[in-house]
Structure 1
Amino acid sequence: MEILMTVSKFASFCTMGANASALEKEIGSEQFPVNEHYFGLVNFGNTCYCNSVLQALYFCRPFREKILAYRSQPRRKENLLTCLADLFHSIANQKRKVGVIPPKKFITRLRKENELFDNYMQQDAHEFLNYLLNTIADLLQEERKQEKSNGRLANGTLDSQNNNSNATPAPTWVHEIFQGTLTNETRCLTCETISSKDEDFLDLSVDVEQNTSITHCLRLGSTSGLFFDLAKLTEGRFKYMEQLQRYTKLSYRVVFPLELRLFNTSGDATNPERLYDLVAVVVHCGR
């Protein structure tokens, strides 16, 4: 599982434009990894929520490799996934190390497919990230379903899994990269019987406090049952202000490590602690 940490609403990385050569010279070519490119994305009217998430996902190497591999397959009808694949391919095949690219095709498709983003208003990048990952997963599962419906097994019978409309769709590489599992344990105070329930997730929200850390927030959530309290999940980055009579964004200082060790609190010895490397952090600075 990759951890793509999204903090607050997010801003676009600065576009380098005419300063690309100066930046590349200042950094020095020896600082660039082989075959890596650093490109800013043009803002098409408050699309920084989208640009920043796309850049974070581009530098999540397992995700990027799957997207580029998808593009190498036979062309399909244009959708959000094909547009993202074209954008990643365009960045990966640039001759220069740094520069700027307009993601116009992707933005146009995004606005066409979801009216929530069909405007020039600032949007929440957290919501956009969830929408994008779920949309890609749905597209992959639908394509797999179509491939099965068009093919037959060696004995000429239809795939039994395809015939079962109620079957749970098989996980995609989106799930393999980003999906985690939460285990909720309940202990009976009378007989001390323990019952557990697993719940998969692509996104995990935590309540934050002033001058805290991601590790502390995760530990607090696991001990208080926060992750399964839907009422509290909506309060992660916002707080209701009585004097304003609305929710306002929290501008708290939250420390996060480059490596995050998650401990197993379920008592299952077969599932030990795990160490995760931080892939990306997207932070929105401003109003």
Structure 2
Amino acid sequence: MDDTGANASALEKEIGSEQFPVNEHYFGLVNFGNTCYCNSVLQALYFCRPFREKILAYRSQPRRKENLLTCLADLFHSIANQKRKVGVIPPKKFITRLRKENELFDNYMQQDAHEFLNYLLNTIADLLQEERKQDKTNGRLANGSLDSQNHNSNTPPPSTWVHEIFQGTLTNETRCLTCETISSKDEDFLDLSVDVEQNTSITHCLRGFSNTETLCSEYKYYCEECRSKQEAHKRMRVKKLPMILALHLKRFKYMEQLQRYTKLSYRVVFPLELRLFNTSGDATNPERLYDLVAVVVHCGSGPNRGHYIAIVKSHDFWLLFDDDIVEKIDAQAIEEFYGLTSEISKNSESGYILFYQSRD
């Protein structure tokens, strides 16, 4: 315990009391047996300010029965209300609840941080939608009047603050090369998974995501207009960009000949400032400026081996959270997490999930 205390006071000294941001707390999280996948994502989300504010506001509402969201709210509240500015907290209640709720995480094995992020955001959104439905029912029973729209099971569930913060929309466009008719289908995302290539950048990965592919030979597309299978062009475009863009780099690839997943430690540059062009025609704001606020980094050679850490931006400096250890790092040091130019030393520390926050 002593070295953790020493680490904390060193951090406090390094930041300096005059520089220390008001109402900010930097607390490492205890690892409960390979729970770094969870700790790193929780730290990244804590430093996504809009998300933290919503979670803390939720905590101040009337108490509900314990679930993953109430446990997360308690954890964030506990960090935000510590007497000390730096230190360590055991997220025991949250981990216990997580293991109870989802058997995927109910073990001491290393899990995938992206799977956990996905599960967490979707679970919170589901819980919020469920609560809203219950409140509506209770409200209805209280005033005795029936709300007719509630009987329509086809209406999509209302969007929650999780959607307001993380949800963007993709549009899948297919253009028949015979009659030129375009059919498009929208789909929402809470995080965007992009393929990686060696020595590229995030911008390049996103551009690759929107590349046009040709559907031909046995993959021809059935065109409603022509009423037959035709060659077509297909592409994915971002129609609506989210407030916080969570980008997942697909670094784990299944290798047939090895019969297992291997890690792509490719060097993919992610800038501190990302200018994104909405590629779809009817986009509301054609260009958005994003700032990097957090990165979940995978260290090691494969998905089930290795370790996760998080680097986050707080006010105007960067911090590295490695379970219970927290240290201040230089913005230049972020380049160390881009990945490797050569695949020789597989054991890389490379950016895995990037959180970009929109400026407006």
TM-score scaled by structure 1? 0.84
Matches within 5 A, 1:257-272: 257-268=271-282, 270-272=284-286
Write the distance in 2 (CA, Å) between the matches of 1:277 and 1:256. Answer: 11
Greater fraction helix? 1
* Cα separation, partners in 2 of 1:190 and 1:251, compared to 1, 3 Å: same
Q: Would you say the 8 A contact 2:191–2:248 is kept in 1?
A: no
| 2:141 aligned residue | 153
Contact 2:279 2:286 in 1 (8 A): no
Deviation at 1:252, TM superposition (A): 1.3
2:172 touches 2:186 (CA, 8 Å); kept in 1? yes
Q: Contact 1:49–1:125 (CA<8 Å) still a contact in 2?
A: yes
Deviation at 1:155, TM superposition (A): 7.9
- Measure how far apart 1:120 and its partner are: 0.7
- Structure 1 residue 30: Cα displacement: 2.6
* Counterparts of 2:289 and 2:248, CA distance in 1: 27
Aligned 8 A contact 1:264 1:271 in 2: yes
Question: Structure 1 residues 155 and 92 mapped into 2: Cα distance closer, same or farther (>3 Å)?
Answer: closer
Cα distance in 2 for partners of 1:235, 1:252 equals 10
CA distance in 2, matches of 1:169, 1:177: 16
Deviation readout 1:193-247 (Å, 9 max, x if unpaired): 333222111121111011111110000xxxxxxxxxx999999322333542322
Q: CA deviation at 1:265?
A: 2.2
Any idea what the Cα deviations from partners look like across 1:104-151, whole Å, max 9, x if unmatched?
A: 010011111111111111100100000000000000000000011111
Distance in 2, Cα, partners of 1:269 & 1:179: 15
For residues 124 and 272 of structure 1, do their structure 2 counterparts lie closer, same or farther at Cα, with a shift above 3 Å needed?
A: same
Tell me the SS of whatever aligns to 1:177.
Answer: helix
How far the C-alpha of 1:27 sits from its partner, in A, is 2.2
Which residue in 1 is equivalent to 2:18? 30
Quote the offset at 1:267 in angstroms. Answer: 2.4
Alignment of 1:101-112 (within 5 A): 101-112=89-100
- TM-score of the aligned structures, taking structure 2 as reference length: 0.67
Residues 53 and 235 of structure 1, relative CA distance in 2, 3 Å threshold = closer
Q: Alpha-carbon deviation of 1:251?
A: 1.1
The change in CA–CA distance for 1:158 and 1:103 in structure 2 (over 3 A counts) is same
Q: Which moved more, 1:251-260 or 1:132-141?
A: 251-260
- Displacement after TM superposition at 1:153 (Å): 8.9
Contact 1:46 1:122 (C-alpha < 8 Å) held by counterparts = yes
State the Cα deviation string for residues 62-102 of structure 1 (Å, max 9, x = none): 00000000010011100100000000001001121111100
Distance 1:155 1:241, change over 3 A: closer
CA distance in 2, matches of 1:234, 1:96: 34
Shift of 1:192: 2.3
Q: CA deviation at 1:183?
A: 1.7
Larger relative contact order (CA 8 Å, sep ≥ 6): 1
Which has the larger strand fraction? 2
CA 1:193–1:164: 2 relative to 1, 3 Å = same
2:76 is matched with which residue: 71, 88, 97? 88
- Equivalents in 2 of 1:44, 1:38: separation in Å? 19
Change (3 A) 1:178 1:234: closer
Q: More displaced, 251-260 or 170-179?
A: 251-260
Change (3 A) 1:186 1:32: same
Are the counterparts in 2 of residues 81 and 136 from structure 1 also a CA contact under 8 Å?
yes
Instruction: Say whether the 8 Å CA contact 2:27–2:87 is kept in structure 1.
Output: yes
Q: Structure 1's 63 and 234: CA in aligned 2 closer, same or farther, altered over 3 A? A: closer
Shift of 1:190: 2.5
Offset of 1:159 from its aligned partner? 1.8
Root mean square deviation, CA, Å:
3.1
1:212/1:254 contact within 8 Å kept = yes
Superimposed CA distance per residue, residues 23-42 of structure 1 (whole angstroms, 9 cap, x where no aligned partner)? 21122123322111111000
1:25–1:119 CA distance, 2 compared to 1 (3 A): same
- Give matches, 1:175-254, under 5 Å: 175-219=163-207, 236-254=250-268
Q: Whole-Å Cα distance in 2 between the matches of residues 40 and 89 of structure 1?
A: 14
Q: Which moved more, 1:36-45 or 1:184-193?
A: 184-193
Question: Any gaps of 5 or more consecutive residues in structure 2?
Answer: 208-243, 300-360
Corresponding position of 2:336: none
Q: Is the 8 A contact 2:272 2:292 kept in 1?
A: yes
Aligned residues: 259
Contact kept, 8 Å, 1:62 with 1:177, in 2: the verdict is yes
Match of 1:52 in 2: 40
